[in-house]
A and B are shown apart, each in its own frame.
Chain A
Amino acid sequence: MSIFDGLVRTARRRSPWLFHLNSGGCNGCDIEYVACLTPRYDVEQLGILQHGSPRHADVLVVTGPITRTTAEAAQTVYAQVPDPKVVVAIGTCPSSGNVFAGSPVVLGAAEHVIPVDVYVPGCPPRPDAIIAGIAEAVAILAGETPRRAEKPDQLPASPKPDASEHGPTPDLDASEPEALP
């Protein structure tokens, strides 16, 4: 490893810039994520900056389950981040869909759409946990820890609501309102 490689690794470790993508969450994780930027946690002392454009970012921070409308946007944003890049999924939603799993508009885990490197569990996770997750992602970015081996699945076709799981769809027009006593 030449001196230049070492310098680049150090620079990548010390200057991660984040882009925040809410792929359809409830805003709970977003609030905890933004708390990391406040004076109490102040991630700028670690060189972490929040950027408004994915072109400037190294770390893509995903909150919320992937919905039908955001799946394509998530892939576009992922493609806009220049290499090398890592994805941090914050909260339970992007790992499993959480309470939204099975909804007809939710595709489920973020892994189906973009490759996720680090999961931060919690609903929502504490800012400390988010910072720890970003630190783990940054180690991957600097090449200090290897990336997870699994390849992401192909984007599944829009799932049809499963009648057996959710029960029959109520027919609103057919049911007469009950007469008041």
Chain B
Amino acid sequence: MTFSDAFVRLLLFPGLLYAFAAAWLMEWIERKLRARFQHRIGPPFYQPFFDFVKLVSKHPVERPAFQAFAMITLPLAAAAATLGALALLPVADMKGFPGDLVLFVALIEVTPVCAVLAGFVSRSPFGGVGASREALLIIAANVPFLVALFALVTSAGSLTITELISRPLWAVRIPAVLALLMTLPVKLHLNPFSAASAEQEIYTGATTEYDGPRLALWELSRAFEWVTLTGIVAVLAVPGFITPWLVRVPAFFVISLVVVVLLTTLSAATARLRAAQVARLLLVVGSGMSLVALVVALAGW
């Protein structure tokens, strides 16, 4: 992977340019679909963009110096790390470097860590409760998530994402991708796993005290998370033998949007579970699918 490749990846596709466009599109699809399911009309197409501009243009309430620094740095770090993770996805060109999967996992885990810190640094009781729930849920979700990736790595015999796309057996890949899909609602704070940002109980959890540009950055990092997490599922779902980018890119985009529709339908149709119930469900039931993938991968069927 040369410097120019990395530049195109970071700034154009699937980096900055695509990330903004897709993030706002996915946020709009999510809100619009949810509204339609509730027999409402829902927000217009440009709504996420205007929400972002409005939040950026607000004057945040004054804070003590360190708190103000932490409250802008944490969401900025979260958004930047998620963007970096997105740029690692091999969509148009099948290029990568050994170990980019490890970097990808490390970068997508930055957002939850920042969210937990952000909840506690805001010194709000709701932020604290949201942060502790976020920590619990993300640990529970990462068990099936990492086991599924481990199964793919075992089957492919490589830590490069491009190898993960082309090599693993379909008997490993299908249960592994399904297990990844099951952890997405937890990572994206969607029903029934939305205990960390349960608005009727703890407002928005960790981000309750965030205002103006600070909140705008959180919303942005959440939207980038949508693009990245649906992206990794889409990248793994497109078969590796399809090499021309003219087919791969639309397939990636369409599968991403299908995942968004599935997640929205799930969250609109379900009620919220308690944090402990979610943790039990993920550790007992959610890990089952990824363990199947791992057993198949280790046995080499």
Contact = CB atoms under 8 A, between A and B. Distances in A.
A14 B57 CA distance: 13
Given A15-B51, A47-B43, A47-B44, A42 B35 contact: yes
A14 B204 contact: no
A45 interface: yes
Contact of B54 (A11, A39, A45, A83): A11
B50 interface: yes
Given A52-B204, A56-B215, 11 more contacts: A10-B50, A11-B53, A14-B54, A15-B50, A42-B42, A44-B35, A45-B44, A52-B203, A55-B211, A79-B61, A83-B58
B271 interface: no
B212 interface: yes
Contacts, number: 82
B43 A12 contact: no
Contact of B59 (A10, A15, A52, A84): A84
A47 B50 contact: yes
Interface string A74-108: 00000110111000000000000000000000000
A51 B215 CA distance: 13
Contact of A55 (B50, B59, B199, B210): B210
A15 B204 contact: no
A19 B203 CA distance: 12
Contact of B58 (A7, A42, A82): A82
B31 interface: yes
B38 interface: yes
A80 B10 CA distance: 37
A53 interface: yes
Nearest to A50: B199
A176 B208 CA distance: 56
B56 to A, nearest CB: 8
